[in-house]
């Protein structure tokens, strides 16, 4: 199957200056941001129903009356014991607070699918092959540098043909398992994928769901991560039938139940849809059945902005978790808002798990060095582009060197 058919690479280019991803949006209006309602605080501190009222001494006789002899026996005689009791009480309070913190932290870590596992580094990535290829020394060095870090493995129907997906995915999962590592997959083959953009393609509805079934079958019950259909929801309003699209994402998500995959739907990024709208769309696509959502995929918004955005989306959803793509956000987004093979980008923070209430990990979801499409001098979407790899590495080095 030809990759990125002419429809996406030719004149039918929807990502013109009206495209949402070109537009550098201002901060969201306050109205768009849901009001913060701290859910846990009151519950964490209030006593449970039926627990003794504050100040009631356990074991006090009914009515609270304490015989005079006992009162006298309990009355501290000197100032020093009072001070000691106060210090002891403070210590107990501090200990309780510390224990609560430990419990909360370990609960977060427990649910985080990135815990306890290194991320899988695919020995057969485009970058790994380019590192052994025929480029200049500089190009091979840049490729080797990128190939050494874990990046997501994109499953497209062009590369992983229907009928072969189960075996291909099972093979990768087995490799990862043997390495004691966690593989991250991106499933990218939805009907009318990219809605006329550079990555146009995808499978008809029924074939698509069969293909997703194959992928789920290949994953089995071993631990893995799936980022489901980048852009599909945030872009939906620009596609012919947004509701059908959302329903299809929901059906695809359901195919992963019973597998060992932690699934993240795509949640756009901080300069695209307002958090409340994104949350609504994620909810309609069934995010409650997923681990959460991914932000910044193939984009370059700053990590702090993405974390703040993810927190707002998560809050609107009642606590969904997130991952952030940091593959090329080291220099932040370009001033003109360009998203497609934008010049001046830099590799971002290396992938790793976080111990955070919302963000499970920062990842390199879009493999750095792979083109976004035939824009800004790049080759077709997904193709290795040595010049871009060199630039991303050089800019990251420059930033790290402080120049």
Q: How many other C-beta atoms can be found within 10 angstroms of the C-beta atom of residue 316?
A: 21
Catalytically annotated residue among 9, 194, 266, 325: 194
CB of 151 to ligand BGC, least distance (A): 9
Cβ 222 vs Cβ 260: under 8 Å: yes
- Closer of 188 and 256 to ligand BGC (Cβ): 188
Q: Does 9 bind ligand BGC (CB under 6 A)?
A: no
Residues 366, 378, 385, 393: which binds ligand BGC (CB under 6 A)?
366
Place of tokens 């480029």: 135
From residue 217, alpha-carbon distances to 185, 212, 376, 402 in Å are 14, 8, 39, 47
Return the range that interacts with ligand BGC (CB under 6 A); candidates 48-56, 102-110, 266-274, 367-375: 367-375
Q: How far apart are CA 20 and CA 278, in angstroms?
A: 13
CB of 2 to ligand BGC, least distance (A): 12
Q: How many other C-beta atoms can be found within 10 angstroms of the C-beta atom of residue 329?
A: 24
Residues 381, 392, 393, 396: which binds ligand BGC (CB under 6 A)?
381
Catalytically annotated residue among 192, 266, 305, 372: 372
- Closer of 121 and 275 to ligand BGC (Cβ): 121
Residues 125, 139, 149, 156: which binds ligand BGC (CB under 6 A)?
156
DSSP annotation of 196 reads: G
Q: How far apart are CA 14 and CA 199, in angstroms?
A: 11
Distance from chain centroid for Cα 12: 31
CB of 33 to ligand BGC, least distance (A): 30
Q: How far apart are CA 170 and CA 125, in angstroms?
A: 17
Return the range that interacts with ligand BGC (CB under 6 A); candidates 21-29, 97-105, 140-148, 366-374: 366-374
Residues 15, 119, 120, 154: which binds ligand BGC (CB under 6 A)?
154
- The H or E element that residue 113 is part of is none
Catalytically annotated residue among 231, 266, 305, 360: 231
Cβ 337 vs Cβ 24: under 8 Å: yes
Cβ 306 vs Cβ 324: under 8 Å: yes
The helices-and-strands tally (H runs, E runs) of the chain is: 12, 10
Q: Does 199 bind ligand BGC (CB under 6 A)?
A: yes
Residue 183, C-beta contacts closer than 8 angstroms, at least 6 positions apart: 120, 122, 153, 172, 173, 175, 176, 224, 225
Nearest to ligand BGC by Cβ — which residue? Answer: 382
Q: How far apart are CA 96 and CA 287, in angstroms?
A: 35
CB of 177 to ligand BGC, least distance (A): 23
Q: Among this protein's residues, is 372 annotated catalytic? A: yes
Bridge partners of residue 353, in order along the sequence? 361
Return the range that interacts with ligand BGC (CB under 6 A); candidates 42-50, 267-275, 315-323, 365-373: 365-373
- The H or E element that residue 128 is part of is helix 126-131
- Closer of 113 and 382 to ligand BGC (Cβ): 382
- Closer of 230 and 286 to ligand BGC (Cβ): 230
Residues 252, 370, 385, 392: which binds ligand BGC (CB under 6 A)?
370
- Closer of 15 and 366 to ligand BGC (Cβ): 366
Q: Which positions from 114 through 133 interact with ligand BGC, judged by CB under 6 A?
A: none
Cβ 349 vs Cβ 361: under 8 Å: no
CB of 249 to ligand BGC, least distance (A): 17
CB of 4 to ligand BGC, least distance (A): 6
Q: Does 196 bind ligand BGC (CB under 6 A)?
A: no
Return the range that interacts with ligand BGC (CB under 6 A); candidates 61-69, 214-222, 328-336, 364-372: 364-372
DSSP annotation of 374 reads: S
Q: Among this protein's residues, is 231 annotated catalytic? A: yes
CB of 91 to ligand BGC, least distance (A): 55
Bridge partners of residue 329, in order along the sequence? 346
Residues 292, 330, 367, 378: which binds ligand BGC (CB under 6 A)?
367
Residue 59, C-beta contacts closer than 8 angstroms, at least 6 positions apart: none
- Closer of 192 and 372 to ligand BGC (Cβ): 372
The catalytic residues are 194, 231, 372
Residues in contact with ligand BGC by CB under 6 A are 154, 156, 199, 366-367, 370, 372, 381-382
């Amino acid at each position: 199957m030809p990759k990125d058919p002419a429809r996406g690479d030719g004149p039918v280019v929807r990502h013109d200056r009206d495209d949402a991803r070109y537009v550098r949006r201002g901060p969201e209006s306050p109205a768009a941001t849901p009001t913060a309602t701290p859910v846990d605080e009151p519950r964490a501190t209030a006593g449970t129903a039926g627990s003794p009222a504050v100040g009631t001494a356990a074991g006090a006789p009914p009515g609270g009356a304490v015989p005079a002899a006992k009162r006298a026996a309990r009355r501290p005689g000197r100032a020093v014991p009072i001070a000691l009791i106060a210090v002891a009480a403070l210590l107990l309070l501090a200990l309780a607070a510390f224990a609560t913190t430990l419990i909360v932290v370990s609960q977060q870590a427990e649910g985080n699918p990135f815990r306890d596992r290194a991320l899988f580094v695919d020995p057969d990535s485009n970058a790994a092959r380019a590192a052994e290829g025929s480029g200049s020394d500089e190009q091979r060095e840049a490729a080797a540098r990128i190939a050494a870090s874990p990046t997501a493995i994109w499953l497209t129907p062009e590369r992983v043909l229907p009928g072969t997906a189960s075996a291909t995915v099972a093979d990768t999962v087995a490799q990862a398992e043997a390495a004691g590592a966690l593989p991250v997959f991106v499933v990218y083959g939805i009907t009318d994928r990219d809605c006329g953009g550079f990555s146009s393609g995808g499978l008809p509805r029924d074939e698509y769901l069969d293909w997703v079934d194959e992928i789920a079958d290949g994953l089995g019950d071993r631990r893995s991560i799936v980022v489901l259909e980048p852009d599909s929801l945030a872009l939906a309003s620009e596609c012919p039938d947004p509701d059908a699209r959302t329903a299809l994402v929901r059906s695809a998500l359901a195919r992963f139940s019973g597998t060992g995959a932690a699934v993240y739907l795509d949640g756009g990024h901080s300069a695209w849809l307002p958090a409340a709208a994104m949350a609504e769309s994620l909810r309609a696509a069934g995010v409650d059945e997923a681990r959460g959502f991914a932000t910044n995929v193939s984009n370059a918004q700053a990590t702090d902005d993405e974390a703040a955005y993810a927190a707002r989306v998560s809050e609107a959803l009642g606590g969904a978790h997130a991952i952030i793509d940091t593959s090329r956000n080291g220099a932040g987004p370009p001033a003109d808002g360009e998203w497609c093979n934008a010049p001046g980008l830099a590799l971002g923070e290396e992938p790793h798990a976080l111990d955070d209430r919302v963000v499970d990990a920062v990842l390199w979801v879009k493999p750095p060095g792979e083109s976004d499409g035939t824009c800004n001098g790049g080759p077709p979407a997904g193709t290795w582009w040595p010049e871009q790899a060199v630039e991303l590495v050089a800019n990251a080095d420059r930033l790290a060197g402080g120049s």
